[in-house]
């Protein structure tokens, strides 16, 4: 199949779509247990941390806007917000 001028544009768009929130996910997944428990020493922090990761993964797959994602992070409550604030790009928005 021959390529046309749109193939590169589609490839770039696919790459951008696939990369949505990937840096943020990497930063979240790179957090140590100590960083997580520093936010809240009880077991709620770990449960909220896992929910936050699932939320960002879902947002990436659904290509949610930043506003929609931030709204959902806020719905996780104070611990979710504190955990998300550890990611600089989320901290700017919260």
Mean per-residue pLDDT for 44-66?
Answer: 89
Phi first, then psi: give them for residue 85, nearest 5 degrees.
-65, -15
Question: Which pLDDT score is estimated for 3?
Answer: 61
Mean per-residue pLDDT for 28-48?
Answer: 85
Question: Which pLDDT score is estimated for 33?
Answer: 87
The residues, ordered by sequence, that sit 6+ positions from 20 with a Cβ below 8 Å of its Cβ are 59, 60, 63
For the cut 90, the answer to whether the pLDDT of residue 54 exceeds it is yes
Question: Which pLDDT score is estimated for 65?
Answer: 87
Question: Which pLDDT score is estimated for 17?
Answer: 45
Instruction: Please indicate, yes or no, whether the overall pTM of this predicted structure exceeds 0.85.
Output: no
Going from N- to C-terminal start, the domains of the chain cover: 23-91
């Amino acid at each position: 199949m021959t390529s046309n001028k749109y193939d590169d544009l589609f490839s770039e768009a696919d790459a951008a779509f696939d990369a949505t929130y990937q840096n943020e996910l990497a930063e979240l997944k790179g957090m140590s247990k100590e960083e997580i428990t520093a936010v809240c020493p009880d077991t709620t922090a770990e449960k909220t941390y896992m929910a936050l990761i699932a939320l960002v993964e879902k947002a990436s797959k659904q290509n949610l806007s930043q506003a929609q994602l931030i709204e959902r992070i806020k719905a996780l409550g104070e611990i979710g917000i504190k955990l998300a604030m550890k990611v600089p790009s989320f901290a700017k928005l919260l």
